[in-house]
Amino acid sequence: MSDKPHLIAITACPSGVAHTYMAAENLERAAEELGYTMDVETHGQIGIENAFSQEAINRAEAVIIAADSKIELDRFAGKRVVVTGVAEGIHQPARLIRRGLEAEPIAKADNGSVVPAKPPKQGLYRILMNGVSHMIPFVVVGGLMIAIAYGIGGTPTPGGLVIPEGSFYETLAGLGGLGFTLMVPILSGYIAYAIADRPGLAPGMITGLLATTPALYNSEAGAGFIGGIVTGLLSGVVALGIKKIPVNKYVAPIWPIIVIPVGATLISGLTFIYALGAPIAAIFQSLTVWLEGMQGAAPIALGLILGAMIGFDMGGPVNKVAFLFAGGLIATGNFAPQGMTSVAIAVPPLGMALATFVGRRAFDDMERQNGIAAAFMGFFFISEGAIPFAAAD
């Protein structure tokens, strides 16, 4: 065991791919330069890796959390904790470590929950990104299955590719379609979870499914991903409000299991059915019709806007807004915006990879290695491969 002071850190980003591991690497490097040892627990798409032992938590002088998704703090009671976005872990790791060492310890409340001395801000972006991060696998799995079905099994017709009825590829496309069916409920459920913890999950998912079931609120079209965002926020806020109602010890055991989920589902669900559903569905339908009616230069303009948003901060808030907009339209059968964003995502990493291959003398060994990594990321539509080059400039 090292005699150096010990730190622990958690990194997580909405997609759980590149930013998560870049922040982990930079924090470890900065800790070593400052004379500390550090264990980093990553919360990526593969799940939690390098989970802390209780001994590591006990030894830690501070806990650094660089995450854009919800992280439970209960196990860190009594420790100095700093909570921030994953970007600070990438770009300013040394400053973040110093902030952690200067932070106030968090305390455990009477009800067992952890209360930071200065609660971290749970901004709207982080709440929304918690939903997006859990939605992404459903978009990827569903999209790839449908793409394979049409790409291999589709028959060209004047109206586009058509999959023969009763074929294996029709089954494959149907399986992919189930992924898209779950997309909005998952988005809504984990937005609510970010606000109210577990009691908000069931109401969020149920009302998210409600948003895609127009017959329940007398609409011809569903409310789509916009409805999913609204139901997630509404369910989370209602569940949190019920959660904060003081109850005696006899009622407390059933409160989070029965009262909060049922109450939040009823209140938010009925509010959406009788007040919000139809107007939001009309807005979403208007957006869909506008996109479907684009002719001439309009798709080029949309592509330029989405491409600029994707490249603006490569995995950051603006990038994710563009991705959410394009991905949310897939469920309506409008694939063009997602195609635009996919191409835009691949351009920065592939461009930098090509630059390191063509102009090798202009880059050092580390940058050439980053170029190889960027190439692999670009082929799989991960824009963050270009971030090391942008950060260096």
Note whether 137 and 259 are same-domain residues.
yes
Tell me if 70 is assigned to some domain: yes
Residues 249 and 321 in one domain: no
Question: What whole-number percentage of the chain has pLDDT above 90?
Answer: 44
The last residue of one of the domains, among 115, 136, 161, is 115
Residues 136 and 110 in one domain: no
299 domain-assigned: no
157 and 228 both lie in a single domain: yes
User: What is the distance between the alpha carbons of residues 309 and 314, in angstroms, rounded to a whole number?
Assistant: 8
Res. 363: pLDDT tops 70: yes
Domain end marker among 255, 288, 321: 288
Give the three-class secondary structure for 279.
Answer: helix
Q: What is the pLDDT of residues 137-195, one digit of tens each?
A: 888 888 889 888 988 998 888 877 789 999 999 999 999 989 989 999 999 999 999 99
Shared domain check, 320 and 245: no
Q: Is the pLDDT of residue 120 over 70?
A: no
Residue 298 lies in a domain: no
- In which domain, by residue range, is 99 found? 6-115
pLDDT tens-digit readout, 271-303: 999 999 999 999 988 877 776 666 556 788 888
55 and 133 in a single domain? The answer is: no
Share of the chain above pLDDT 70, in %: 90
Q: Does residue 136 share a domain with residue 222?
A: yes
Same domain, residue pair 317 and 282: no
Q: Binning pLDDT at 50, 70 and 90, where does residue 108 land?
A: low
User: Residue 5 pLDDT > 80, yes or no?
Assistant: yes
d(CA 39, CA 31): 10
Query: Is 160 or 261 the better-scoring residue by pLDDT?
Result: 261
Give the total number of structural domains in the chain.
Answer: 3
What mean pLDDT, rounded, does the chain reach? 86
- List the catalytic residues: 13
Give the model's pLDDT for residue 292. Answer: 65
Task: Tell me, yes or no, whether 193 lies in a domain.
Answer: yes
pLDDT in tens, 192-227: 999 999 999 999 999 999 999 999 999 988 898 899
CA angle at residue 349 from 191 to 17, to 5 degrees? 35
Residue 48 has pLDDT above 70, yes or no: yes
Do both 100 and 136 map to the same domain?
Answer: no
Is 12 strand, coil or helix?
strand
Q: Is residue 373 part of a domain?
A: yes
Alpha helices per DSSP H over the chain: 18-33, 54-59, 86-91, 93-102, 124-153, 168-196, 201-211, 224-243, 260-271, 277-292, 298-313, 317-328, 336-358, 365-379, 387-392
Tens-digit pLDDT profile for residues 23-37? 999 999 999 999 999
Say whether 7 sits in a helix, a strand or coil. Answer: strand
Q: Would you say residue 301 lies in a domain? A: no
The pTM (predicted TM-score) of the whole model is 0.77
Residues 77 and 133 in one domain: no
pLDDT of 354 strictly over 70:
yes
Q: Would residue 302 count as lying in a domain?
A: no
Mean pLDDT of 78-106: 91
Mean pLDDT is lowest, of 194-203, 235-244, 376-385, for 376-385
Asked, for residue 173, whether it belongs to a domain, the answer is yes
Res 17: pLDDT: 67
| Choice between 107 and 68, residue whose per-residue pLDDT is larger | 68
